[in-house]
Chains A and B, each alone.
Chain A
């Protein structure tokens, strides 16, 4: 250590040196250099698929680099797992909270770090340790509360406490505010500053630029797996960060919008739709050829509205009308028969049969078209699917391979193809480009746009505001299960939408 300090007075706490990473065919990181100093907040920004999360995960040992090296405090490390990283003082708070929901807060915080006496956990000692930890962090969480019952913001604090319990010198936070209300985000920012003041380095991955500029000391912009630039946050503005992130004008990423005729028939009408707390008295309509964007924060009820229309969960009240025919949404089968198609948010959990061949996935929803009398005609199926695959610019050579071997973009195209086998009249797409590489995005936008031009009514849900702004003719903003604003597509801006979305959250918080 002494020798090192002599050569270089202050080695960064974490350093990535020419790190490369591939996932199957996708080149996620190309020669990424990154230096994170102790006691700073280092923001990583970039579009979806730019590699910011991957870089964060390599820092935290979740992924292993294929090339290049990682140094912690000047020493090269080879993390084989997050456990190795934790031992070296690096932890990650992931986008998806990874707590044990059925156990208490204390148990989660000390999970894997329990101090025992003769193999037993001392209850009082643990509580004392927990309080010390809260003092150190500067916030408090009820130690015996059931973790799964806490709001997301609180769960995140539990994750942070856990990181501190593990004596983290570096905490990677992947999109920490995506699921938080404005209030909670402000509070989180305070916590992050407090941690920084105690010498912890924070890697802050986010795509909320204003927040990044407020909180970060250093900003690194990534695009297509490479670092575009890295420098002090005080030298940056939102505008030049956007330019750096996109590397091209925003408009070029999207097909030119074709507005629907004013007298186009209403394809989908939703009236007083409610489902528990998640969807509350939602009414709106979508015309033939119209793309209506549903924006809002994660957890605002966007996806729940879509699922309720499609009858995915049951128990929804209210009315859905498709092409003037009313029905009470009870099951996906019913909705499908009425010409409704739904691409759910999570391909892996709700969209695809990952272990089954691409072909089986594509023909699942409208299998009857190629199985007269109940027997599947393989030849006819293959011919139909090849045509379909071409229509969404999906390669036709891999129809017999398991869908999990495809890239995110191709998986998404397969999902589109599945619902285009019988032309839908109304299409609901939830996060159509999540986990999709930049190149495939445009292809998916073209598909959506092409469908709308052919008179399909489209309800588009997305967390990416650029996507909503680039595609939608009309934007509905959702907050706490209600539609809180309607904005014309031409007039919509990121700021208008976010203000409406956060406004809804704040009004509802007493």
Chain B
């Protein structure tokens, strides 16, 4: 497909060429991800008999929910032109807080405390990278190390087990056969997606990522907008952390290492630009599911986990490559 586009591009002269390149590559970038997803889905449905079963599909969704929630939050950060590397740590920290607080505050209180904690840490990140003027890559790298350090200090390195049986409800309960985690993911993604698409705040997020200087001169409070995306990203990480803590009824300081990178990979595979100013929540959902499908499919096809990593890495590079290529000659 891409070879075809390039060949045509070199034959056509002048204006037509750039137009053809743009149309061809743009739609490749816009809908290539959907096409890949459908192709993989069909392929797995046909080639294995275990794939297209309700149990397997629901299982994939349940397994993807935590990373999916984190990635939805991270999408906002990326579109606004930032990067949040602390979500893995916030995820662990909030799980620990929820487990610790479930005793004194009761189960709902503990879960809420975990989620709010995520919001608070995210807001802290936001302040750091806007008012503190620290580059978000480094800022959240540093803050993430600190957050995880605190989580380790609180648990003294051991696992926090929760006695109350009801603590596990959020992570293991279901409604009409669908796990709560999936419902939470769907509602969160729907809400964030709607706000990004339709709200003034959403427009400001795109504007901030596309050209912060121009956004500021248009009267957009760029700092506040960027900080808010980090707050939502923290909230998402808190939500995911609490769900996972509830699933296993324990809080652990060492869960979610490398989580932030998986989330960013899913966002980018979905087609949200790493350079900011472009992207969508639905893309991230497709990105998360595509990576999950690949993992699941490779399992069903009995491919060793070692090769799964290699394939996932290659897909990430391909996604970023396509993004960079379609951007060439624009701007």
Contact = CB atoms under 8 A, between A and B. Distances in A.
A376 B232 CA distance: 20
Contacts of B213: 349-350
Contacts of B50: none
Interface in A341-391: 342, 344, 349-356, 360, 363-365, 367-368, 371, 374-376, 378
Contacts of A250: none
Interface string A327-341: 000001101110000
A404 interface: yes
Given A22-B14, A333-B221, A375-B198, A367 B203 contact: yes
Contacts of B137: none
B330 A404 contact: yes
A66 B13 CA distance: 8
Contact of B199 (A344, A351, A352, A371): A371
A376 B214 contact: no
Nearest to A66: B14
B331 A354 contact: yes
B128 to A, nearest CB: 20
B201 A353 contact: no
Contact of A356 (B200, B201, B206): B206
Interface string B202-226: 1110110011011111111100000
A310 interface: yes
Given A353-B211, A355-B278, A356-B210, A312 B199 contact: no
Chain A interface extent, by class? 35 or more
B74 interface: no
A353 B217 contact: no
Contacts of A371: 199-200, 203
A375 B207 contact: no
**Most chain B beta carbons < 10 A, residue from A336, A344, A360, A364:** A364
Contact of B203 (A332, A376, A402): A376
A418 interface: yes
Nearest to B194: A375
B328 interface: no
B277 interface: yes
B324 to A, nearest CB: 14
A364 B211 contact: no
A354 B275 CA distance: 13
Interface in B1-24: 13-15, 18
A367 B206 contact: no
B199 A353 contact: no
A2 interface: no
Interface residues of B, number: 28
Contacts of A335: 219
A353 B331 contact: no
Contacts of A376: 198-200, 202-203
B14 A364 contact: no
A335 B203 CA distance: 21
A121 to B, nearest CB: 31
B219 A336 contact: yes
Given A24-B15, A312-B217, A353-B210, A360 B278 contact: no
A337 B18 CA distance: 41
Contacts of A365: 218-219
A336 B278 CA distance: 26
Contacts of A22: 14-15
A378 B203 CA distance: 12
Contacts of B207: 353, 356, 360, 364
Contacts of B199: 371, 374-376
Contacts of A66: 13-14
A354 B217 contact: no
Contact of B217 (A350, A367, A404): A350
A355 B214 contact: no
A469 B220 CA distance: 35
B211 A352 contact: yes
Contacts of B331: 354-355, 404
B116 to A, nearest CB: 23
Nearest to A353: B210
A505 B278 CA distance: 45
A418 B218 contact: yes
Interface in A29-48: none
Nearest to A349: B213
Nearest to B197: A376
A353 B277 contact: yes
B215 A353 contact: yes
A337 B278 CA distance: 28
Contacts of A25: 15
Contacts of A352: 211, 214
Nearest to B208: A353
Nearest to B26: A402
A66 B15 CA distance: 10
A356 B221 CA distance: 18
A374 B201 contact: yes
B263 to A, nearest CB: 23
A333 B15 contact: no
A352 B331 CA distance: 11
A129 to B, nearest CB: 36
B191 to A, nearest CB: 13
Contacts of B218: 332, 336, 364-365, 418
B200 A353 contact: no
Given A22-B15, A376-B198, A404-B330, A353 B206 contact: yes
Interface in B207-259: 207, 210-211, 213-221
A78 to B, nearest CB: 15
**Most chain A beta carbons < 10 A, residue from B14, B15, B201, B211:** B211
A264 to B, nearest CB: 27
Contacts of A404: 330-331
A342 B200 contact: no
Contacts of B18: 24
A362 B33 CA distance: 30
A351 B216 CA distance: 10
A496 B199 CA distance: 52
Contacts of B198: 375-376, 378
B327 to A, nearest CB: 8
B330 A364 contact: no
Nearest to A418: B218
A458 to B, nearest CB: 18
| Ranked 4 nearest A-B pairs via Cβ | A353-B210, A336-B219, A365-B218, A333-B219
5 contacts: A22-B15, A336-B219, A344-B214, A353-B210, A354-B330
Given A352-B214, A355-B277, A368-B200, 8 more contacts: A22-B15, A24-B18, A310-B217, A312-B216, A350-B213, A364-B203, A364-B215, A375-B199
Interface of A: 22, 24-25, 66, 310, 312, 332-333, 335-337, 342, 344, 349-356, 360, 363-365, 367-368, 371, 374-376, 378, 402, 404, 418
